[in-house]
Amino acid sequence: MKNGTLYIFLLKGTYAYTADRNWENDVEVKRSGCNPNITRDIAYQLINGETGRNFNVILGGGRKMFLPRGQFDEQGQEGSRFDGLNLIEKWKQFKSKTGKSEYVWNRNQLVKLGEVQNLLGLFTDSHMSFDLDRDPNVEPSLTEMTQAAISVLSKNDNGYFLFVEGGMIDQAHHLTYAQKALGDTLAFADAVQRAVDITGRDDTLIVVTADHGHTLTFNGYAGRGSDIFGLAGLGEDGLPYSVLTYSNGPGYAYDKSGKRRDLREDHMGKKDYKFPVQIPLSRETHDGEDVPIYALGPWAHLFSGAYEQNVIPHVIAYASCVGDGITACEQDMRRKRRKRSYKFARPHRKN
């Protein structure tokens, strides 16, 4: 790559060492029987951890995890921490020593952002909203956050690594909100497209993948032009089946007698409609299928075939010339040395 620029889309975090994904603040750690002064929570690690404190851009939700009890954020929501720490102020104090830094909490502040070296944006007190529920006057879109991040990071002559998650896709599937899940999938696709549009293929590697799939199924044989959120046809019991169903989850499709529910009586067009499932569960599960991976840019051809997920970071490290293993830059230097040694080698002479 020309300048080592690396851009990557993946799902899940890169900075926290934790035994429980719910340990977002010190209260949750203590509630589980651990000492939060020893077992640090996720928000604390993001601001103070060896990896997290070196991030130049942090954008997302969870504002109450960064504020102490008794202190309220810009929207009047109380903080959750018991340790009295204001991690937002901690970030401001630390980053002020490393360049111009800015903390933002709404969309307007983000889109009007000036020249900064460090950026922290916390737009909700907890999870970000589903894209179909998002208030565009308060919460930025994933595309807007992606563009802002690239704008800040691309000023680094040494290149950058950006990790973007469409995290609400997973949350919607767990609730069998198919319409919201696909809405956030489209929002994620828009963010990927924006990244493609504002970066160069000669020096930017973009990788898109997932950590798992869900039990959502696309059923046949719906007629041409059918609504994907509607009905596909009739089963042998004379009742309709939907184009989209889940194997399990909260949208159980049978009544107490074991007879399938007549979906024609449902309001399937609602964005929070729970799509039919076969097995009743409070939350839909992940599935066990392989997930795809797509890549564009330098060394994108290495992301092909079927392989274990732990291969991915090794290929990324190779392409971006970082880490302790063999890298593309190292191999390029070896090739150049071999060419020079061949060029200046003494020719063989016959006696």
State the binding site for Mg(2+).
165
CA distances from 271 to 141, 240, 246, 281 (A): 18, 20, 16, 20
Residue 116: half-sphere exposure toward Cβ, Cα within 13 Å: 23
Helix (H) or strand (E) holding 340: helix 328-343
Tokens representing 219 are 């059923």
Enumerate the known binding-site residues for Zn(2+).
170, 174, 211-212, 286
Rounded Cα–Cα distance for residues 349 and 351 (Å): 6
Amino acid letter, 238: G
Q: Rounded distance, CA 202 to CA 5, Å?
A: 10
CA dist 247 and 214 (Å) reads: 9
Q: One-letter amino acid identity for 153?
A: L
Q: How far apart are CA 318 and CA 297, in angstroms?
A: 14
Structure-token pair, residue 245 = 């169903």
Q: How many helices (H) and strands (E) does the chain have?
A: 9, 12
Indicate the annotated binding residues. 165, 170, 174, 211-212, 286
Written as one string, the DSSP assignment of 226-262 is: --TTSEEEE-TTS-EEESEEEEEES-B-B-TTSPBP-
